[in-house]
């Protein structure tokens, strides 16, 4: 049996998940599990857990892309261990990799390592860019600490959340959060 799994990171990626589901159904996946959740929060991926629980010996879990399934090589290897433990296989459509074959298992490991390397390089470049922008004074980042007493004092002076956020260089939502915390502790 072919079992599909589709995932989009955010709710605004509705077209992405719909496209994945369409593609999986067109391949005759008898059951498709789909969810909109970040890959970072592995514990919240209930439909992935359900798909892994559902597959049986001889089944193939089908995903459209590797990044829809796993975030890192280590995570992918954990998933492969579960899938192979059930005597099932994994098929990644865009890479045409099928772990039901020895070559597919080897290729998956190599491709996964390359994907993780690319992600780590991208994050490293991002950190370097932020650091360069900081040195040039173009990137401030968020304040290291928010002072509730300063917010309370400005509120007592009659200033609104927007004015407080501008004066302290913090997000307006941070002002509201501190105000809520202050009102919760007042009683």
Q: Is the pLDDT of residue 124 over 90?
A: yes
What pLDDT band is residue 62 in, cutting at 50, 70 and 90? Answer: very high
Average pLDDT over residues 13-18: 79
Query: Is the predicted pLDDT of residue 184 greater than 80, yes or no?
Result: no
How far apart, in Å, are the Cα atoms of 7 and each of 17, 44, 67? 6, 12, 9
Highest mean pLDDT among 14-28, 79-93, 144-158: 79-93
Residue 170 is predicted with a pLDDT of 85
Q: Is the pLDDT of residue 131 over 60?
A: yes
Domains of the chain: 2-116 (3.40.50.1390), 148-185 (1.10.10)
- What positions carry a catalytic annotation? 9
Q: What is the pLDDT of residue 172?
A: 87
What is the structure's pLDDT at 187? Answer: 47
Q: Which residues pair with 98 in a beta bridge?
A: 91
162-187 mean pLDDT = 82
Name which of 22-26, 41-45, 63-67, 136-140 the model is least confident about. Answer: 41-45
Span 78-121, pLDDT tens digits: 999 999 999 999 999 999 999 988 898 889 888 888 887 888 89
Which pTM value belongs to this model? 0.62
Cβ(76)–Cβ(99) below 8 Å: no
CB atoms within 10 A of CB 84: 14
Query: DSSP assignment of the chain, as one string?
Result: -EEEEEEESSGGGHHHHHHHHHHHHHTT-SEEEEEE--SS-GGG-HHHHHHHHH--TT-EEEES-GGGT-SSHHHHHHHHHHHHHTT-EEEETTTTEETTSHHHHHHHHHHHHHHHHHHHHHHHHHHHHHHHHHHTTS---S-S---HHHHHHHHHTT--HHHHHHHHT--HHHHHHHHHHHHHH--
Kindly state the percentage of the chain with pLDDT values over 70.
90
Q: Supply the pLDDT for residue 9.
A: 79
């Amino acid at each position: 049996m072919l079992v599909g799994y589709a995932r989009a990171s955010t709710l605004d990626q509705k077209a992405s998940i719909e496209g994945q589901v369409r593609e999986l159904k067109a391949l005759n996946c008898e059951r498709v599990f789909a969810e909109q959740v970040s890959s970072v929060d592995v514990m919240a991926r209930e439909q992935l857990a359900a798909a892994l629980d559902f597959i049986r010996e001889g089944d193939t879990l089908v995903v459209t892309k590797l990044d829809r399934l796993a975030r890192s090589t280590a995570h992918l290897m954990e998933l492969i261990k579960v899938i192979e433990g059930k005597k099932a296989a994994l098929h990644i459509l865009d890479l045409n990799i099928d772990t039901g074959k020895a070559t597919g298992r080897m290729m998956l490991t190599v491709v996964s390592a390359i994907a993780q390397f690319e992600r780590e390089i991208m994050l490293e470049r991002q950190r370097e860019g932020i650091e360069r922008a900081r040195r040039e004074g173009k990137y401030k980042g968020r304040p290291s600490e928010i002072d509730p007493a300063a917010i309370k004092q400005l509120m007592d002076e009659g200033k609104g959340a927007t004015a407080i956020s501008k004066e302290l260089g913090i997000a307006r939502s941070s002002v509201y959060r501190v105000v809520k915390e202050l009102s919760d502790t007042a009683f």
